[in-house]
Amino acid sequence: MKQCLICSGSINWQPSFHELISWRPLTPPVICQQCQQQFALITDHDLCRGCGRQRESLCPDCQTWQEQLGFVIHNRSLYSYNDAMKEYMHSYKFMGDYRLRQVFQRQFTALVKSISADVVIPIPVTQHTRLTRGFNQVTGLLEDCRLVTDVLLTSQQHKLVPQSHKKRTERLLAPQPFMLQQATKIKGKKVLLVDDVYTTGRTIYHAATLCRQAGCESVSSVALAS
Amino acid sequence: MDLSLLYGRRELVAKADLPEKIPAAVQLLPTIEVGTTRIRCLRCNATTPLKEARLPRGQSYCPQCLNLGRVSTLDQFYHVAEPNQFAPIAEPLTWSGTLSPLQVRVAAEVKDSMLSHEQRLLWAVTGAGKTEMIFPTIEQAIRRGERVCIASPRVDVCLELFPRLRAAFQSVPMVLLHGRQEEPYKYCQLTICTTHQLLRFYHAFDLLIVDEVDSFPYAANEQLLYATTQAKKTTGGLLMMTATPGEVLQRQIKAHRLAVSYLPLRYHGHLLPKIRCVQIDYRWQEKLKQGHSPRQVGVWIRQHLRAQKRFLLFVPHIENLADLRQCLQRELPQCSFTTVYANDEQRLAKVQRMRDHQYDFLVTTTILERGVTFPGIDVCVLGADEKIFSSSALVQIAGRVGRSSQCPDGNVTFFVKENARNVKAAYQQIKYLNRLGRRIQ
């Protein structure tokens, strides 16, 4: 019996008849039913066409972006950022339990692949994080996706204060943390930005601004949670 | 860098953060041993398949001891060998109580064996006064300038021990360590911690005392057993204490591989209460769900209510609590009682109300098996043959009875549906201890 990666309880799983005759590789779950139920999938259809959260055609936050930058990004998220997701992100990113990428990897990759794009750009981590954490949490969530390119880099070596420790107003004032390498690669392409959590949108909009300056055709984004 | 924080400890440092100059006393130790198919964590000694422990770019980490901070090949350990840098204390023991003649004998035996840093088990029945018996041993070690640690698998035991030790050793600096703690670590001669915290130490203690060795999660946990061996110095002494050694320890005792000191009598000199088994309906769990409590249990409860004797009723699972409460409320509307379980928010308040005689009885799961004392109480276990009750848990439960010298005797009843190994083992363990006890009584 396998153990749940989140609560270490045992997982009761048997492949369904449909799965058996579908002749695809079997994919046993890595977390138990109870833990799975804690995460809230976003299933509504009448969502904001910007951030993809509130039930309005364009929420006040996205209206502000529209006024400030002259464009909004169409973002899609799989889950809402509830307590279970917060806890998950803590164990995955900050405790560094890399196994936890398997929890959403398939589902998230499927979502990314379902969106038509020419290049997929994961939001990068700083040099220091890469050396201490050992992985980029966003690329960890993407399972062999051909379109992934690492054109986006962080210009900072070291994050002085982690984004998650800042208040909303501080986050919105944060300066551009990224730079583009080989900007020609994305010229005239449809770009899909991928991040783990969409909170204020600041990070995604920084990256999107760079991509638009480099002359890409369109920018949209995907996040695991928002 | 405050070097004293590293004495006998291993602290994780990311290789990326290593300073240019490291003080000469600091050793850098590796964190993970990478094999061809598995990795071994050098902190918790657990091995993990490489596939599960993998990080990108050929790095790996240990997923088994994440709670203490991740150990990975991206890190190294800072370590400074234990220097035993303590100011001598003239009169460390400020405890003014006295030990009974029997306790004195056992305490002297333990003290002598710890002088030569042996490994020993102190097997003393519940309510024998184990803590007081180790005071002379601790005093001796502190006088000799040794570093001492008292560890227990349970936080509540540590929390209860700390004030008692502080009162007994007022001039000795001591520190309490457990997972949920805010206070930072400091270097002290006497450390009280949970067994998990021992993983942070490395060849630190001359004397390591582990209390309640048989309790969850320490028993049968390789990681924690390893933690004890590497937290003490290679020449250090190890004293394990328990009222109910598990099978592994008992086998070691029988094979004379582990020295043991017995204390089979309680501090008031009486024997342990004998277990009485009563057979109940084989399908009592289903019937309880339908709203019928076992007849024999009802009879037993009415007898106790009539005699105005208070008692604890143990059940195997949390689900049984609600069913049983409904049954009893219907069948015995005049009595006052409540149910308690591990994650109950009012757990402490309810236990306190039981102490204040506001309830006739408590219905509970195994959480109250240790450390809770109500004077003059009886105990019964519904479904004692369920797997969840280990034989040591059953002995501990039986040990709730007759702890005070006013009422040194009591009634322990196990309601069982069939013969089971755990009940038999518990019965025999009590019988064995009582035989030893009668010899010296």
**DSSP notation for B79-143:** EB---------S----------HHHHHHHHHHHHHHHTT-EEEEEE-TTS-HHHHTHHHHHHHHH
Query: Quick check: B64 contacting A, CB < 8 Å?
Result: no
Q: Which CATH class is domain B101-263?
A: alpha beta
Tens-digit pLDDT profile for residues A126-142: 888 888 888 888 888 88
| Domain ranges (residues) in chain B | 3-79, 101-263, 275-440
Helix/strand number for chain B, H first, E second: 13, 19
Is there a domain that residue A175 lies in?
yes
CA-nearest residue to A135 within chain B is B56
Is there a domain that residue A127 lies in?
yes
Query: Around Cβ B311, how many Cβ atoms within 10 Å?
Result: 24
Q: Which A residues, 117 through 146, put their C-beta within 8 Å of a C-beta on chain B?
A: 128, 131-132, 134-136, 139-140
**Is the alpha carbon torsion for A204, A207, A213, A215 positive or negative?**
negative
**Is the alpha carbon torsion for B29, B8, B134, B162 positive or negative?**
negative
Instruction: Categorize the per-residue pLDDT at A156 as very low, low, confident or very high, splitting at 50, 70 and 90.
Output: low
**Is the alpha carbon torsion for A60, A63, A68, A73 positive or negative?**
positive
Among the partner residues B54, B63, B74, nearest to A131 by beta-carbon distance = B74
Cα end-to-end distance, chain B, whole Å: 57
Average pLDDT, chain A: 83
Among the partner residues A95, A135, A140, nearest to B66 by beta-carbon distance = A95
Residue in the structure block whose two tokens are 């405050």: B2
- Identify the residue with better confidence: B395 or A166: B395
Tens-digit pLDDT profile for residues B121-155: 998 887 777 888 899 999 999 988 899 999 988 88
Q: Which CATH class is domain B275-440?
A: alpha beta
Has residue B413 got a pLDDT over 90? yes
Among the partner residues A99, A134, A136, nearest to B72 by beta-carbon distance = A134
Contacts of B54 in chain A (CB under 8 A): 98
CB distance A96–B61 less than 8 Å? yes
CB distance B66–A96 less than 8 Å? yes
> What is the arithmetic mean of pLDDT over B97-102?
84
Tens-digit pLDDT profile for residues B35-60: 999 999 998 888 899 988 888 888 99
3-state DSSP helix/strand/coil percent for chain B, to nearest 5? 35, 25, 45
**Is the alpha carbon torsion for B254, B256, B259, B261 positive or negative?**
positive
**Structure confidence at residue A24 (pLDDT):** 85
In angstroms, rounded to a whole number, what is the distance separating the alpha carbons of residues B311 and A138?
Answer: 57
Contacts of B66 in chain A (CB under 8 A): 91, 95-97
Average pLDDT, chain B: 87
Is there a domain that residue A1 lies in?
no
**Secondary structure class of B45 (helix, strand, coil):** coil
Instruction: Categorize the per-residue pLDDT at B94 as very low, low, confident or very high, splitting at 50, 70 and 90.
Output: confident
Contacts of A2 in chain B (CB under 8 A): none
Tens-digit pLDDT profile for residues B385-400: 888 888 888 888 888 8
**Secondary structure class of B247 (helix, strand, coil):** helix
Question: How many domains does the structure of chain A reveal?
Answer: 1
> What is the arithmetic mean of pLDDT over A20-45?
86
CA-nearest residue to A93 within chain B is B70
Cα end-to-end distance, chain A, whole Å: 33
CB distance B56–A135 less than 8 Å? yes
Interface contacts A/B by beta carbons within 8 Å: 36
CA distances for A97 relative to A92, B60, B65, B77, angstroms: 5, 11, 10, 19
In angstroms, rounded to a whole number, what is the distance separating the alpha carbons of residues B324 and B342?
Answer: 17
Is there a domain that residue A86 lies in?
no
Is there a domain that residue A90 lies in?
no
**Structure confidence at residue B427 (pLDDT):** 92
Tens-digit pLDDT profile for residues B358-385: 888 888 887 766 666 788 889 999 989 8
State the burial class of residue A218 (Cβ atoms within 10 Å of its Cβ: 0-12, 13-18, 19+).
middle
Q: Give the domain extent around A118.
A: 45-81+103-225
**Structure confidence at residue B220 (pLDDT):** 67
Identify which of B195, B209, B207 has the alpha carbon closest to the alpha carbon of residue B242: B209
Joined together, the tokens standing for residue B119 give 């490994």
Q: Which of A6, A30, A132 to mutate to test the interface with B (most CBs of B within 10 A)?
A: A132
CB B148 within 8 A of CB B138: yes
Pick from A93-102, B43-52, B399-408: least confident:
B399-408
Quick one: how far is CA B336 from the chain centroid?
A: 32
Quick one: how far is CA B361 from the chain centroid?
A: 25
Listing from the earlier edge strand, what are the strands of the sheet with A119-122? Answer: A74-79, A218-225, A190-197, A119-122
Contacts of B72 in chain A (CB under 8 A): 96, 134
Joined together, the tokens standing for residue B216 give 């969850």
In angstroms, rounded to a whole number, what is the distance separating the alpha carbons of residues B431 and B441?
Answer: 15
Contacts of A91 in chain B (CB under 8 A): 66
Bridge partners of A191, per DSSP, are A119, A219
CA-nearest residue to A98 within chain B is B55
> What is the arithmetic mean of pLDDT over B286-301?
89
Nearest CA-CA distance, residue A93 and chain B, Å:
11
Secondary structure (DSSP) of B190-222:
EEEEEGGGGGGB-S-EEEEEESSTTSTTTTT-H
* Identity of residue B166: R
Pick from A168-177, A212-221, B268-277: least confident:
A168-177
CB distance A97–B66 less than 8 Å? yes
CB distance A134–B66 less than 8 Å? no
Among the partner residues B57, B63, B74, nearest to A132 by beta-carbon distance = B74
Instruction: Categorize the per-residue pLDDT at B319 as very low, low, confident or very high, splitting at 50, 70 and 90.
Output: confident
Pick from B200-204, B229-233, B335-339: least confident:
B335-339
CB distance A99–B63 less than 8 Å? yes
Is there a domain that residue A31 lies in?
no
Is there a domain that residue A65 lies in?
yes
For B22, how many CA atoms within 13 A lie in the half-sphere containing its CB? 15
In angstroms, rounded to a whole number, what is the distance separating the alpha carbons of residues B211 and B195?
Answer: 9
**Domain harbouring A123, CATH code:** 3.40.50
Query: Quick check: A3 contacting B, CB < 8 Å?
Result: no
Instruction: Categorize the per-residue pLDDT at B191 as very low, low, confident or very high, splitting at 50, 70 and 90.
Output: very high
Considering the entire predicted model, what is its pTM? Answer: 0.78
Query: Around Cβ B159, how many Cβ atoms within 10 Å?
Result: 15
**Structure confidence at residue B239 (pLDDT):** 92
Is there a domain that residue A3 lies in?
no
Q: What percent of chain B has pLDDT over 70?
A: 98
CB distance A132–B14 less than 8 Å? yes
Matching fold, domains B101-263 and B275-440: yes
Quick one: how far is CA A205 from the chain centroid?
A: 14
**Structure confidence at residue B151 (pLDDT):** 92
Structure letter (DSSP) for residue B6: G
Tell me the backbone φ, ψ of residue B249, rounded to 5 degrees.
-65, -40
Instruction: Categorize the per-residue pLDDT at B249 as very low, low, confident or very high, splitting at 50, 70 and 90.
Output: confident
Tens-digit pLDDT profile for residues B416-436: 998 889 899 999 989 988 998
In angstroms, rounded to a whole number, what is the distance separating the alpha carbons of residues A82 and A39?
Answer: 7
